Chain A
Amino acid sequence: MRILVLQLARFGDIYQTWPALKAIQRLNPTAELHVLVRQRFREALNGIDGLVVHSWPTAEILEPIYMKGNESEAHERLQKVLAPLRALEFHRIVNLSFSPMSSFLADILSHGHTVTTGYTRFEDGFLNIPDDASAYFFAQGEIGKSNRFHITQIFSLVAQSDLIEEDFRAFAEERPRKNQVVVHLGASQSLRLYPAQKWVQVLRAALAQGNEDWILVGSPEEMSLAESVSAHVAHARLKNQVGQSRLPELMNQLAESKLFVGCDSAPAQMASLTQTPILQLTSLTANFWTTGPTSAGSRVIYSENLADISPDRIAAEARAMLNGEAPLGPCAIRLSALRPYELHDLNFNNFSWQLIEALYTQSSYPEAETQSDLLAFQRLFEVSELALEQVESFKIPERRKTSSLILANVDQMIAEIGRLNPRVNPLIQWFETERLRIPPGKAEDTLEAMRRLFSDLQTISSVYRRYDEPGTESKRAIELARRCLPAIRDFRMASVQDDFQSLLSTLQELSRHSTKVGEQQWAEMLGGLNEALGRRDFIEVADQLEYVLIPALS
């Protein structure tokens, strides 16, 4: 069997791919394992035996465009690069790149018999996400979302190869650790950098507290930063080796060090593979749950703003780790590569993550924490109900045009619900991703797939629906209407938005269970209210609530 893994991201991502590659090798001992990486990052695969490594020559392919503005020649070069890869007729392609470019590449390199996991393309050219793990990443994985599964696990799921602890080891044997700490001042992105002047304070404090050598490492681009920090610290046990080591040498150095200190970067990913405990500094700009350290004993100090982390805290926490002592303050702790982080005095809101767990791992749905959450789910329930009606209506030719328009509005409504309450976004992202995965096909099959999906959305949203007996619901509606009235009369609608939306939802629920409210038809009552809202005639809205609705419900 011939397997191709596509990893077209950077150094750090390639190191995070090592466990999946080792797992594939372990589980497919007779397979030929090929890996395609960008030429510039090829060195990050040094250290895994038995791979056939291919380089993706971006610069070479695009050179005719840069030099002569000639895209036809670039296209010819591309074909020449693709031909030998296609000729290998891979049985499996595992795309771990999660990018549009890689999805086209995976598609081009596949043959009729190839089984592909990871992003690829449908026969009509639209994005195809064939496996659930990649769909999960598409929906929930990016920075700013609520994912807490580690990227190494996600990669292994895409590769359909379960990990064991040994897959995380760059070296089979543990090496003797020297009395040294490795520090990387840089980071993969400028937003993830800890300020240089604070590094000076960290290093001064750390060097004063112990007798270890502290070694600065990094790329040649980071030399001026390191020289400046080193000059300010001016200590005999601070050794500046930035720009001096190739990656394999750095890997050896990390394997012989007691501790690594730094932000989210490639050297940190390497330290995870050498089982070196890591003290990582992280903030909102990097999701440590996804890309943080995996070596046992690692700790993550988190602050929304990286610069807010105190240098003394970092130095003291490093000392505690070197001495084998308990954490000194809030942090996330990694006990082993395969176990998730444990939080020590560190609190995050768990609602969105628990919602993700419920959606993907069949655990229980979390309790809604706010009225706003309940409202968002209620809205999703109503919108999916509307969509289901329109999917049915679409089957009748003369109603098709109107149904299409309404369904297009449904998309906007769903997006708006997520914008107003991002806490429910995991559900919306799940829904949008699953809709994207509907394959091209006959109109009736697509419609049926849409119907099933909206039905699932409605079922999930219904978990959060609250409906008591009509008397209680009527009382709730009266209470909400009375609460909203003063603000509506003062044209301060925005200040009672949540209550007003709850009122509308409650009225909708009541109208499902009876045709009349007092002497009036529900349809007439709700129609009048909607009409006044549509005209933004808030005095009329208030009058209807006060003089029609409340008396009718009472």
Chain B
Amino acid sequence: MNESPDKLKAALERLETSTRKVIETRGYSKDAKSLKLLEEMIKEQLKNAHSGSSTRTIR
């Protein structure tokens, strides 16, 4: 799961664009919430060594 940080980064960028559009048109809707959740899951993977890790850090 660590081999593809580039794929993760690219997916994150596309997701951020989609989420922004969803929020602009429909506000912080159910879809926007799950897109943001997916974004954060990807960010955790980029930050940590593997998918099992997590941190307490929020900032």
Contact A38 B35 (CB under 8 A): no
Cα A445 to Cα B31 with chains together (Å): 29
Indicate whether B21 reaches chain A with its CB closer than 8 angstroms: no
Query: Which A1-44 residues have a C-beta within 8 angstroms of B?
Result: 8-10, 13, 38, 40-41
Instruction: Give, as a whole number of angstroms, the nearest-CB distance from B47 to chain A.
Output: 10
Which size class do A's interface residues fall under? Answer: 35 or more
Which size class do B's interface residues fall under? Answer: 20 to 34
Dominant SS at the A interface? helix
Partner of A141, one of B45, B54, B56: B56
Contact B40 A101 (CB under 8 A): yes
Cα A87 to Cα B47 with chains together (Å): 31
Cα A78 to Cα B34 with chains together (Å): 8
Known: A119-B58, A125-B33. 10 other contacts (CB 8 A): A62-B1, A62-B8, A62-B45, A66-B8, A71-B11, A78-B38, A79-B34, A99-B54, A104-B36, A108-B33
Contact B7 A101 (CB under 8 A): no
Contact A125 B23 (CB under 8 A): yes
What are 24 of the A-B contact pairs (CB < 8 Å)? A9-B56, A38-B52, A38-B54, A58-B44, A58-B52, A61-B41, A65-B7, A65-B8, A66-B1, A69-B7, A69-B11, A71-B15, A78-B34, A78-B38, A78-B41, A79-B34, A98-B56, A98-B57, A99-B58, A101-B37, A101-B44, A104-B40, A107-B33, A121-B28
Contact B32 A62 (CB under 8 A): no
Indicate whether A82 reaches chain B with its CB closer than 8 angstroms: yes
Contact B37 A99 (CB under 8 A): no
Hey, which chain B residues are within 8 Å of A74, CB to CB?
11, 38
Q: Nearest residue in B to A58 (C-beta to C-beta)?
A: B51
Chain A residues at the B interface, C-beta cutoff of 8 Å: 8-10, 13, 38, 40-41, 58-59, 61-62, 65-66, 69, 71, 74-75, 78-79, 82, 97-101, 103-105, 107-108, 119, 121, 123-125, 127, 137-138, 141-142
Known A8-B54, A127-B58: A100·B40 in contact at CB below 8 Å: yes
Instruction: Give, as a whole number of angstroms, the nearest-CB distance from B21 to chain A.
Output: 14
Q: Nearest residue in B to A108 (C-beta to C-beta)?
A: B33
Cα A98 to Cα B57 with chains together (Å): 7
In the A-B complex, the 10 residue pairs with the smallest Cβ-Cβ separation, listed nearest first, are: A101-B40, A40-B52, A125-B28, A104-B37, A98-B56, A71-B11, A58-B51, A65-B11, A9-B54, A69-B7
